[in-house]
Amino acid sequence: TFGAMKGRTPAGPVSFARITTDDRIGEIRAYAGEGRFTDDPLDTFGCRAVVEVPRLQQLLRYVCRNGFEHHVAMSASNCAGILAEAFENYLGWETYLHNADIE
């Protein structure tokens, strides 16, 4: 683990995902993407990391326009494409794969 209370996430790959529900219409939707943890300085407390996400403004526009909450699950790996495939093909969830066109 990276430390639940205190620690610094090392530089390297990161995948992130968010799943949300629309209870009014009984729908589950998701998004996933990839970036990288950086070594940028960050003078704060707790478990901390700086993440670089290509085309971040495009992702934020999608998140806001589609009503997603802003917290995500993260993994120190490149697995966003696999997650999106599983969400769509096996679970039947509408899924946005961020930066799929540049992978």
Number of structural domains found in the chain: 1
How high is the pLDDT of residue 62? Answer: 97
Q: Where are the beta strands (DSSP E) in 1-103?
A: 7-8, 12-22, 27-37, 47-48, 51-52, 73-75, 94-97
- 61 falls within a domain: yes
- 2 falls within a domain: no
Helices vs strands, H then E, count in the chain: 2, 7
Average pLDDT score over the chain: 91
pLDDT tens, position by position, 31-89: 999 999 999 988 888 778 899 999 999 999 999 999 999 899 999 999 999 999 999 99
pLDDT tens, position by position, 6-39: 778 899 999 999 999 999 999 999 999 999 999 9
- 1 falls within a domain: no
Q: Which domain holds residue 47?
A: 7-102
